[in-house]
A and B are shown apart, each in its own frame.
Chain A
Amino acid sequence: MSVLSTQHLTIGYRKKGTENVIQHDLNLRLESGKLVGLIGPNGSGKTTLLRTIAGLLKPIDGKILIDDKHLLLLSQHEKALNVSFVLTEKVDIANADVFDMVSFGRFPYNNWRGNLSEGDRKKVFQALQMVRMETMMHRLVSELSDGERQRVMIAKALAQDTPIILLDEPTAHLDVPNRVGIMLLLHKLAHTTGKIILLSTHELDLALQAADLIWLMSENEGIECGVPEDLVFSGSFNRVFASNSYFFNEANGNFSLNYPLNGKVSVSGNKTRLYWTLRALARAGYAAVEDAPLKIEVTDSAWILNQKKVFSVAELLDELNSLNNLNSRFPF
């Protein structure tokens, strides 16, 4: 059971004597066995915070504590026993296979020659099993796909056997199945290994589903912590990601675009088909309201608009536009 906490932490960059503060007076606290998603707009300091906790960047002020150990006062080696991380930079080592790469995680434990003991080998193999890469351990890293490579880097962090793992945008550059796969994997790892896993991401919907806690960073207001759903109810997402062209849709946990409004309709009917119809209507600039003169009924096979039956969304939109004296299906 470990606890990561910060006290009056101020992060940012020092450049030629001037301090560029990105976030100040952060008082955060994390307990083990949790997957934490760090979310915020670009420039809010996600990477800076991760790099500061990782010990790659000095904080401008304040403390980072692991249990009661002061992280900044630890030696490089002691830090390596407490925090491991996966960065966005791609690692390419000629001739290195998956096992070699994960073995790097045992560096803080083995002797000056870097020889792996039987115990080290076991840890490496366990880490490979946890990310389900044990069958590929003799494959060259240079031949792996991006998703497999990310799993290997996670295994390397697991082999390092630290109470805290940090990941900077682990799902960037991955296709959708791999993104979901990595998130589910991290969720499972946090719960089964009892580690603190803190990851930054741009994938809001995935983070809301997989993370036990969200650290929501905004440029001016610091970090708001909470269970994802509580942050949805409190309207925090809309406040942090405020914009004229999109909004955080609390109905589905996604960002929705603000389309220019053409008219109002009232819609009723079958649940799934209703959801997709509403999306199409929103895109075409129709807001769904309770009692508009224009009524659409969604049935299992068709749409009924002013007594006229149509059989596809395209026809429905054409019909709506002709009623509204518009020529185009896309009013932009």
Chain B
Amino acid sequence: MYSRNNLLFFVFSLLVIFLFLADLMWGSVAIPAKEIFSALCGDRQNSVFTEIIINFRLPKAITAILAGASLSVAGLMMQTLFRNPLADPYILGVSSGASLGTALVVMASGFLPFSFAGNGWALIISAVVGAALVLLIVLFVSFRVNDIVSLLIVGIMFGTIAAALVSIIQNFSNPDAIKLFLMWTFGSLSAVTWNYLQILFPVVLAGIGMAFFLQKRLDGLLLGENYARGLGISITQTRSLIILATGLLAGGITAFTGPIAFVGVAVPHIARGIFRTSSHKILLPACILVGAALLMICDIITQIPDYTLPVNTISALFGAPVIIWIILRRK
């Protein structure tokens, strides 16, 4: 059993490396692998290729890995926390909460004397706070609503409320800020520059580190709240830590890439199916690898047409059928 998982981890690690290189190679201009290696090694012979790779494709590919891993780990934690196979940051409105936080910062900055919107930290903190707040509200609702599909609808309603609030804010904002915000909502991996990555990376690292720290308690939560308590797990503390970690991961990513749909719900199911386990010790690294691979595949597909597609549309094509499949299988 363990050797099978080790083999799978090895295969997926190779896949992630391969996709990472492919993501660097393909785009509006195809760059041969040789040039990529020389650019990565600091060789500046072909300055155009080097410029494209170092300042555009490399941060984008790293963002794809971070976003895929973060959203998948956030989705896994939410599915365990809510004991609901459909839970994920996008579906339960956590991304909408992050949007609302971002909208407040981006558009309110029009009223502030100094430029706030360009400040990456302000962006990420507001998104993380927005995400964690919605998560907290949905958690309270989930105590009253046991049916998983009902919770889904509640999540969609939260998304709608957040969107309505964003519209109201837009009404009172100046056109420049609105344009800035609209660009953000399209969801793009290429919007993340090296400067933003310096902020995003530690936030993601903290979130994933917390998830690994919580792995045993996450396992315990699979038994349900009462049994988890009986095994010595402090429920309130564990819940708070999961919400914080999920907020950091989902909020942090959403702050810079905009909402990316369905990766969070689909990847944990794919990981469970491939690794045939429920143990978070295995599922957490599995989600990181599968999530990174899936989002890079999505990113590569968005480059196929002459103009770049939003990554959100491609990830929805992968993820939405997974949700339909889960609902059908439950009957």
* B279 in the interface (beta carbon within 8 A): yes
Q: Which of A96-131 contact B (CB under 8 A)?
A: 96, 100, 104-105, 107-108, 110, 112-114
- Within the complex, which residue of A85, A95, A104 is in contact with B276, where a contact is CB–CB below 8 Å? A95
Contact indicator B230/A95 (Cβ below 8 Å): no
Stretch at the interface among A72-80, A264-272, A294-302: A72-80
Please name the residue on chain A nearest to B269 by beta carbon: A94
Contact indicator A89/B224 (Cβ below 8 Å): yes
**Which residues in B have their C-beta under 8 angstroms from that of A316?**
none
User: How many residues of chain A get a CB closer than 8 Å to chain B's CBs?
Assistant: 30
| Chain A min CB distance to B322 (Å) | 15
Contact indicator A108/B272 (Cβ below 8 Å): no
**Which residues in B have their C-beta under 8 angstroms from that of A104?**
219-220, 223, 227, 231
Contact indicator A114/B230 (Cβ below 8 Å): no
Q: Which of B216-233 contact A (CB under 8 A)?
A: 216, 219-220, 222-224, 226-227, 229-233
CA distance A110 to B220 in the complex (A): 13
Contact indicator B277/A95 (Cβ below 8 Å): yes
Contact indicator A95/B278 (Cβ below 8 Å): yes
CA distance A108 to B224 in the complex (A): 16
* B281 in the interface (beta carbon within 8 A): yes
Given A89-B226, A107-B220, A113-B216, residue A160 in contact with residue B231 (CB < 8 A): yes
* A222 in the interface (beta carbon within 8 A): no
Given A76-B233, A107-B220, residue A95 in contact with residue B226 (CB < 8 A): no
**Which residues in A have their C-beta under 8 angstroms from that of B223?**
91, 93, 104
CA distance A164 to B233 in the complex (A): 18
Contact indicator A56/B232 (Cβ below 8 Å): no
**Which residues in A have their C-beta under 8 angstroms from that of B216?**
107, 110, 112-114
Contact indicator A83/B230 (Cβ below 8 Å): yes
CA distance A94 to B275 in the complex (A): 12
**Which residues in A have their C-beta under 8 angstroms from that of B278?**
93-96, 100
Given A108-B232, A114-B215, residue A95 in contact with residue B272 (CB < 8 A): yes
CA distance A95 to B226 in the complex (A): 21
CA distance A100 to B222 in the complex (A): 12
Contact indicator A54/B281 (Cβ below 8 Å): no
| Chain B min CB distance to A160 (Å) | 7
**Which residues in B have their C-beta under 8 angstroms from that of A96?**
222, 278
**Which residues in A have their C-beta under 8 angstroms from that of B233?**
76, 107
Please name the residue on chain A nearest to B214 by beta carbon: A112
Contact indicator B230/A80 (Cβ below 8 Å): yes
Given A76-B233, A79-B232, A94-B272, residue A114 in contact with residue B281 (CB < 8 A): yes
Interface pairs A-B: 8 shortest CB-CB: A80-B232, A114-B216, A77-B232, A107-B231, A108-B232, A95-B278, A96-B278, A93-B222
Further pairs besides A95-B278, A105-B231, A107-B216: 11, Cβ < 8 Å: A76-B229, A80-B232, A87-B227, A93-B223, A94-B272, A94-B278, A96-B222, A107-B231, A108-B231, A112-B213, A113-B281
